[in-house]
Amino acid sequence: MGVLLLIIAVIIFVIADIIIRTVLRRSREKRLRQQREEALEKNLRLDFSHEAKTLKRVEVDKPKARILAVDDEEIILDSFRKILVLEGYSVDTVETGQETLGLIQKHHYDFLFVDLKMPAMNGVDVCKSAKHLRPDIDVIIITGYASVDTAVETMKYGAMDYVQKPFTEEELVDMVNKFVIRRQDRIKKQLSSKVHITHMDETESTDSVEFAIPGGVFISTGHTWAQVIPDGLVHVGLDDFARKIIGRVDNIEMPNLGMEVKRGDLLFSAKQNNTSIPFHAPVSGKVSEINKALLDNPERIQESPYDKNWICKIDASDLDTELSKLKIGQAAVDFYNEDIKSLHDYIKQSVTSTKDDADVPADGHVYLGELEALTEKDINAIISDFFKRTE
Give the confidence band of 166 by pLDDT, cuts at 50, 70, 90. Answer: confident
Helix (H) or strand (E) holding 234: strand 234-238
Q: What is the pLDDT of residue 225?
A: 97
Give how far Cα 40 sits from Cα of 59, 77, 119, 167, Å. 8, 13, 28, 21
Give the confidence band of 207 by pLDDT, cuts at 50, 70, 90. Answer: very low
**Does the pLDDT value for residue 206 go beyond 50?**
no
Q: Give the integer Cα–Cα distance in Å for 83 and 170.
A: 9
DSSP state, residue 224: E
Lowest-confidence pick of 52-56, 214-218, 333-337, 359-363: 359-363
Percent of the chain whose pLDDT exceeds 70: 83
Q: What is the pLDDT of residue 23?
A: 63
Topology match between the domains 38-188 and 195-336:
no
**Does the pLDDT value for residue 110 go beyond 90?**
yes
**What pLDDT digit, counting tens, does each position of 273-297 carry?**
889 999 999 999 999 999 999 988 9
**Residue 184 β-bridge partners:** none
CATH code of the region 195-336: 2.40.50.100
Q: Higher confidence at residue 340 or residue 189? A: 340
Helices (H) and strands (E) in the chain, counts: 12, 17
Superfamily of domain 38-188 in the CATH hierarchy: Response regulator (3.40.50.2300)
127 contacts 141 by C-beta, under 8 angstroms: yes
**What pLDDT digit, counting tens, does each position of 73-102 carry?**
898 899 889 999 999 999 999 999 999 999
What is the rounded average pLDDT for all residues in the chain? 86
- Please give the single-letter amino acid code of residue 175: M
SS3 of residue 47 by DSSP: coil
**Does the pLDDT value for residue 5 go beyond 50?**
yes
Q: What is the pLDDT of residue 386?
A: 95
Q: Give the integer Cα–Cα distance in Å for 133 and 338.
A: 25
Domain boundaries, the chain: 38-188, 195-336
Lowest-confidence pick of 43-57, 203-217, 265-279, 310-324: 203-217
